[in-house]
Structure 1
Amino acid sequence: MKRVLVGLLWLCSSGVQASAEPLRINALQRCGELLAVDAAQWCLRSQGLGAQTPTVWLGTTRLSRDQVQRDGDRVTVKLGDMQRPSAPLWLEEGGRTSNSVWLTRGRSHVIAAQPHEVAKNMDGLTTYVDLVSLLIEEKHDGLNEARRIAERYGARVVGAIAPLNVYQLRLPVRDLVQRDAMILRMGSELSVDAVVIEESAPEPGEEGAGRSSAAISQADEWAANRFLDALYFYQRRIPAARLPVQPVRIGVIERDVDFDAPAFTAYRGPCAARHVCVYGRDGQQADAHGSLVTGILAGEQEGFLAGLGEHSPGFEVIVERNSDAGITANIAASVNLVEDGARVLNWSWGLHRVGARNVKGDEVDSLVRSGLAMSGYEELLEEFFLWLRAKHPDVVVVNSAGNGASWSGTDEYRLPSSFVTEQLLVVGGHQRSEQAVAVDDPRHVRKRHSSNIDMRVDVSAAACIRPAGAADQHCGTSYATPLVTATVATMLAINPALTPEQVRTLLRRSALTLGKEQDFEAMDAEDLTAPILPSERGGQLHHPDLGRSARLDMQRALDLAVQSRDRVR
């Protein structure tokens, strides 16, 4: 009898423990037939599920039982009407709610290679063996042409970025020799503009080496960009002026966010009544790249958008990666997010070409790819920005300059920051100097030693962070980028009519400075961004800022956004 009671008590306690496990969505991506138009199937992986099939919510709609199937920790969602708008999806079970993930109705989806479908190339880099993407000339019907080519070579069309006329094929090959021979033949097809190969396992976050000093003061680092001054300005100026502000949707190209971290616990479940909403897959590490980048934007304790307060217009921060299929997936996710209404994209990622040299002449070893891969990526990115300019000219992409201590503006060295387009803002990194000088003094900060440089870098921001309660600090242009993204999103909330070119102009006009005065000759190791010009200082030819690098001033940038709206009125 005693053993029976003990057994019952153990079962009860284990049941309580199981039910207490948090309910989370760890993965969500399109599955089944990716090219289907009228219906779609989504596969999600979750943790913390009980014995029953959970309730699945898509926006304000509760999905019916025949739309949801469960197999262990995997749940399949079938949707028929693909004309409905994209919406957040979350699970509900026994009073518990999961994190919300973004389910896009966009048509751009690619698949990642499995571990047995990759190999090492001659450069020692991991590359996909039988998955490639074809960029079809725009005058052709991309899908029909991709299917024709696939049939000719015994391949299958398995994914697409339809708005860019990009189609992913699975090739009938067993090794890289066969693959390279086949893509050479496919690339010679008259309708094929480029063949994109992937060189990536799931990518690590782009991050530089640690800070040289033992510890940082987060407030001191962000004070260099007037972080708190900007919050103070917004909280008082917007209500005082009774200025109407507009909600902004932001796309963050990252893998996941740790919704158990203090910065994100409030973002679980539906998010209708909040000023800031965060949608993303759940991760396991509070200091993972996606959590840190998103935390700077929207974290409860320190995120800029979360600090705007009750007069915030509302921001939706969508953390999305599409799949683990490298740069192709980044672009697929970006296309879907733009079509879903994202006004700003945060790209805290980038690549260096194998053999790229840094400012000291040494080879860069940070996130390198072969020339073959880089040429395909360059064509893919060019097509993306051409599409953006033609179809979505109001969208701003904010990109990290990189951490190779190299040049950011030459395609032989770096992508995507080398692209010259009004819709791409490139962000370098600085850190607090050891000099006790005022914030507006150029010596208040110094260029971060690993930050990429040159004329293509538009503005710099604080590159070092230490999350609340964390023992370790993290540094890199990846973390400078969301400071600029948050500023740009708030500027667009204040004045939605601002164009990408005007946003860049206001950021540069409002910027503080750093570094020595430049001589406008070829860039050297002391220069970080394009030098401040007389036109960016009211035509004053003897202004002390001229020739120096630009440092983000968040407060002044918001002030100029308000003034730009006042001029229109």
Structure 2
Amino acid sequence: MRAAPLFAPVLLGLSLWANAAEPLRVAHLARCGDLLAPDAQQFCLNLRGLTDAPVEVLLNGKPLPASAVRRDGQRLQVEVSRKAQRSGPLWLEQNGAPSNPVWLSLAGSHVLAAGPAEVAKNMDGLTTYVDLVSLIIEEDSEGAVVAQQLADKYGAKVVGAIAPLNTYQLRLPAHNLMERDALVLRLGSEVGVDAVVIEESSAEENEVSSTDQRLRPNADEWAANRFLDAVNYYQRRIPAKNAPIPTTAVRIGVIERDLDFDAADFQQYLGTAKTRNGKPHTRVYGRDATRPDGHGSTVTGVLAAAWDKGGNTGFLSGLDGAGPGFEVIVERNSDAGITANIAASVNLVEDGVRILNWSWGIHRVGARKVDGEEVDSLVRSGLAMSGYEELLEEFFLWLRREHPDVLVVNSAGNGSSFSGADEYRLPSSFVTDQLFVVGSHQRSERDDVAIDDPAYVVKRSSSNSDTRVDISAAACVHASTLKPDEQVETHCGTSYATPLVAGVMAAILSINPELRPDQLRMLLRRSAMTIGEEYDFEPTDAEDLTAPILPSERNFELNNPDVGHSARLDMQKALDLAVKSRSRVR
């Protein structure tokens, strides 16, 4: 009995030491309270490593007043006025140490995710929301008014909104899928309702992770896209003494859940210092993950991982010193699947993002691979796909109408299927100048060919393909690590080819911000190297990775050897054409 008092202080001391040793991190930030409030918005933060010491909450570098912050253990609730504040990075400081910065958007779009008790399995065996749906209201109607009228009529409640798309989320009085489907049918037939969106599980790309030693390291894989050549070109050409190129800061939105700021690749992004050694540098905002090799960390690492630290190597961070200081915002809105991805995208575009990186996509149940077998991952029912298709259509119509300078870079997918047919894949099947689709390749076994030879790389067998794919890029990268020089896995897939393209697009826009999305597409296609054999423009088959290079993309040379081949990203030549374009797009 006397032993307990002796051990208790020791255990308490160890506990306090452990808490003090744990770094301060923002694990989650989301709208809470009244999601439809037009002015004052509330945000809830889940934290790790918060001690009892005073803590300061900073938004855009300025402390929020103590009256705007409520604290409850490892949780904070902050209230922000849209009139007094603007969207920007939010972080905490305690005992002189900063947390990871997260992006706090005051744009206002937000949807709720279902809890474990609010989902069920449908007839296809997919997890689906029971009582949460979203209504897309006809664009000539007052969305908020119509949504509230329908909620009153059916005993529902408006709980979320993507107002720029006239989309409102309702919580239905449904307790099972039979009741939900009956209400969905009735709501869909209401005057003023364009479509009803239901959610089925999450929307991440579950990429293939591999430790296959035959896969070449990043540097060799990325040599196929002239990664280091591009970094060297930017670092030398932009600040050149004879004819320096002025640059413009570019903001990139990455639709991912989180990344690990404890990883060696991202530790330099704690806090939000805008300069390093007196010069602008890349900055990263995002929620903190608990593992370094997650999907969000790997995708973001291709853009912004520190060099020679551990695991990945970021293209934009390689431009530090010469570049304008890129901002990479990692944001997912909530865990409410595709609808949350679109809500986050709308917010980011309204917050000034020029490039959106969508390393995600889904296939319709029954979609076939090129060999005839059914796609068995990232599938959704026909009911869900029809709603998603309408939501994505509204998004791209809004983008074209309100933000024609924004480009979305989307992964083609890894189902060994077709990327361009809407009965197979979303969102890559949409045809719009503002959607750029990326397939993937990997280094061939041949060492006797030059980099610009089509045989230098081969199509990755899992990559979706067809003429809707605009360009291909290297599929395989290293995951981030907690410690420098740690043994790491290789992750492969179109998810990781996509940020290579998004990164070079951002670098191009930093050189010439006047380029439109259609001009960006043409620039990348004109600068592309080739992959595979010539296909003479026959109907799409399993061998075509991208749309074939056209004579118009080779100065109208009908006999140019590149014509008819698939397009492979050439990062260095793309930057060179961007510099030359400055004198043409004026």
* Counterpart selection for 1:318 from 329, 351, 356: 329
For residue 291 of structure 1, what is the aligned residue in structure 2? 297
Pick closer, same or farther for the CA change 1:4–1:126 going to 2, 3 Å.
Answer: closer
CA contact (8 A) 1:118 1:127 kept: yes
Q: For the residues of structure 1 that align with 2:487 and 2:292, how far apart are their CA atoms?
A: 9
Length, aligned pairs only = 568
CA contact (8 A) 1:26 1:283 kept: yes
CA contact (8 A) 1:37 1:82 kept: no
CA contact (8 A) 1:206 1:478 kept: no
CA offsets per residue over residues 372-414 of structure 1, 9 Å max, x none?
0000000000000000000000000000000001000000000
Q: For the residues of structure 2 that align with 1:50 and 1:409, how far apart are their CA atoms?
A: 51
* Counterpart selection for 1:555 from 550, 572, 578: 572
CA offsets per residue over residues 268-320 of structure 1, 9 Å max, x none?
11232251110000001111000000000001121000001311111110000
Secondary structure, aligned partner of 1:102: strand
1:536-547 to 2 correspondences below 5 Å: 536-547=553-564
CA contact (8 A) 2:138 2:192 kept: yes
CA offsets per residue over residues 477-503 of structure 1, 9 Å max, x none?
000000000000000000000000000
CA contact (8 A) 1:428 1:460 kept: yes
Alignment of 1:106 onto 2:107: yes
For residue 520 of structure 1, what is the aligned residue in structure 2? 537
Q: For the residues of structure 1 that align with 2:336 and 2:54, how far apart are their CA atoms?
A: 30
* Counterpart selection for 1:417 from 428, 453, 461: 428
Pick closer, same or farther for the CA change 1:407–1:141 going to 2, 3 Å.
Answer: same
Q: For the residues of structure 2 that align with 1:190 and 1:53, how far apart are their CA atoms?
A: 54
Residue 5 of structure 1: how far off its partner (Å): 8.6
CA contact (8 A) 2:529 2:570 kept: yes
Secondary structure, aligned partner of 1:427: strand
For residue 199 of structure 1, what is the aligned residue in structure 2? 200
What is the one-letter code of the residue matched to 1:385?
Answer: F
For residue 445 of structure 2, what is the aligned residue in structure 1? 434
What is the one-letter code of the residue matched to 2:185?
Answer: L
Superposed CA RMSD in Å reads 1.7
Alignment of 1:86 onto 2:87: yes
Pick closer, same or farther for the CA change 1:533–1:213 going to 2, 3 Å.
Answer: farther
Q: TM-score, normalised by structure 1?
A: 0.97
Q: For the residues of structure 1 that align with 2:291 and 2:65, how far apart are their CA atoms?
A: 33
CA contact (8 A) 1:464 1:476 kept: yes
1:369-408 to 2 correspondences below 5 Å: 369-408=380-419
CA contact (8 A) 2:304 2:315 kept: yes
Secondary structure, aligned partner of 2:284: strand
* Counterpart selection for 2:257 from 249, 255, 258: 255
Alignment of 1:345 onto 2:356: yes
Secondary structure, aligned partner of 2:247: coil
Pick closer, same or farther for the CA change 1:81–1:217 going to 2, 3 Å.
Answer: closer
Secondary structure, aligned partner of 2:253: strand
* Counterpart selection for 1:277 from 248, 272, 283: 283
Q: For the residues of structure 2 that align with 1:311 and 1:29, how far apart are their CA atoms?
A: 35
Q: For the residues of structure 2 that align with 1:347 and 1:512, how far apart are their CA atoms?
A: 24
Deviates more, 1:465-474 or 1:360-369: 465-474
Secondary structure, aligned partner of 1:377: helix
Residue 80 of structure 1: how far off its partner (Å): 2.8
What is the one-letter code of the residue matched to 1:283?
Answer: A
Residue 70 of structure 1: how far off its partner (Å): 1.1
Alignment of 1:474 onto 2:480: no
Residue 133 of structure 1: how far off its partner (Å): 0.2
Pick closer, same or farther for the CA change 1:176–1:12 going to 2, 3 Å.
Answer: closer
Q: For the residues of structure 1 that align with 2:294 and 2:46, how far apart are their CA atoms?
A: 19
Deviates more, 1:409-418 or 1:68-77: 68-77
Alignment of 1:232 onto 2:243: no
CA contact (8 A) 1:206 1:348 kept: no
CA contact (8 A) 1:157 1:167 kept: yes
Q: For the residues of structure 1 that align with 2:200 and 2:19, how far apart are their CA atoms?
A: 40
CA offsets per residue over residues 196-244 of structure 1, 9 Å max, x none?
00001x4443314648663422111000000000001001111112110
Secondary structure, aligned partner of 1:504: helix
Alignment of 1:447 onto 2:449: no
Q: For the residues of structure 2 that align with 1:212 and 1:417, how far apart are their CA atoms?
A: 29
Secondary structure, aligned partner of 1:507: helix
Alignment of 1:125 onto 2:122: no
Pick closer, same or farther for the CA change 1:205–1:53 going to 2, 3 Å.
Answer: farther
Deviates more, 1:513-522 or 1:391-400: 513-522
Pick closer, same or farther for the CA change 1:174–1:14 going to 2, 3 Å.
Answer: closer
Alignment of 1:460 onto 2:472: yes
* Counterpart selection for 1:534 from 540, 547, 551: 551
What residue ranges of structure 1 are gaps of 5+ in the alignment?
A: none
Q: TM-score, normalised by structure 2?
A: 0.94
CA offsets per residue over residues 157-204 of structure 1, 9 Å max, x none?
00000000000000001000000000100000110000000001x444
Residue 84 of structure 1: how far off its partner (Å): 2.7
Q: For the residues of structure 2 that align with 1:206 and 1:235, how far apart are their CA atoms?
A: 35
CA contact (8 A) 2:203 2:361 kept: no
Pick closer, same or farther for the CA change 1:547–1:99 going to 2, 3 Å.
Answer: same
For residue 178 of structure 2, what is the aligned residue in structure 1? 177
CA offsets per residue over residues 320-379 of structure 1, 9 Å max, x none?
000000000000000000000000000000000000001000000120000000000000
CA contact (8 A) 1:53 1:70 kept: no
What is the one-letter code of the residue matched to 2:503?
Answer: A
CA contact (8 A) 1:208 1:475 kept: yes
Pick closer, same or farther for the CA change 1:47–1:536 going to 2, 3 Å.
Answer: same
CA contact (8 A) 1:216 1:466 kept: no
Secondary structure, aligned partner of 1:251: strand
Secondary structure, aligned partner of 2:20: helix
What is the one-letter code of the residue matched to 2:123?
Answer: M
